[in-house]
Amino acid sequence: MRFFLWLFPFLMCQAVLANTLTVTDIKVSMDADTPATAREKAIAEAHKIAFGKIAEESCVGAPAPMPPDDILSDMVASFSIDKEKAVLGNYTAFFTFHFEEPQVKAWLEKKNITTPHLLGNPFNVTATYTTFEDWQHIRKTMEQNGTTIRLLSLSASSAQFHVVPAEDTHFLRQRLEKEGFHSVVEGENWEISPLLTPTSSQP
């Protein structure tokens, strides 16, 4: 019985996380008259930066405008301060945010999200990389020819996202390899990582 009492909150937590969009490694540094004031300003700014990253990776078309503070606050299921430092009037911290996916999706769709032509079954991707430029390269390669991605989590070295393909996935994998990325497919789950030697650089 004790096992089930422990398992129930764990399952509830997993169900909540399944409906959230996670952004990590949000760094903010703020100055103010006091560390407490700087901290408040940093937290408010971190909300906006985190939403900006979600919007940047999710939008098709013009960039989505920033929601008002009250709406933005409601979108956030939770956030954590992973590391912080206060010196005199300066406050610097790294944040992780969990956004309510339905609320973010509703806001973005209201503003500028379009639905692509669907070709092939949607799938999930875990991509690993060494630089943010690599991540941008993967994203741009995936989004060619109308394919769209919906970001689930993003960090300095990996990203998880949902893909709605608008082309045969065979051609998508070929293009990834040509651009220097290796893909492993297991059912509806993909893993993408840089090749040691990009095929596009070969003579």
* More reliable by pLDDT, 149 or 192: 192
**What top-level class would CATH report for the domain 123-201?**
alpha beta
User: pLDDT by residue (tens digit) across 3-23?
Assistant: 333 333 333 333 334 467 888
Least confident of 15-19, 66-70, 74-78, 128-132: 15-19
Query: Could you give the percent of the chain with pLDDT greater than 70?
Result: 78
User: pLDDT by residue (tens digit) across 92-140?
Assistant: 999 999 998 888 878 877 765 543 443 467 889 999 999 988 999 999 9
E-state strands within 17-147: 20-31, 76-87, 90-100, 123-128
Cα 149 to Cα 161: distance, rounded to the nearest angstrom = 6
- Give residue 3's pLDDT: 34
> What are the distances in angstroms from CA 163 to CA 38, 108, 125, 187?
39, 17, 7, 13
Best CA proximity match to 23, nearest among 182, 166, 135: 135
| Averaged pLDDT, 140-155 | 86
Cα 118 to Cα 168: distance, rounded to the nearest angstrom = 10
Burial zone of 92 (CB within 10 Å; 0-12 exposed, 13-18 middle, 19+ buried): middle
Domain residue spans in the chain? 2-111, 123-201
User: pLDDT by residue (tens digit) across 35-51?
Assistant: 899 999 999 999 999 99
Does the domain at 2-111 match CATH 3.10.450? Answer given as no
Please report which confidence band the pLDDT of residue 198 belongs to, taking 50, 70 and 90 as the band edges: very low
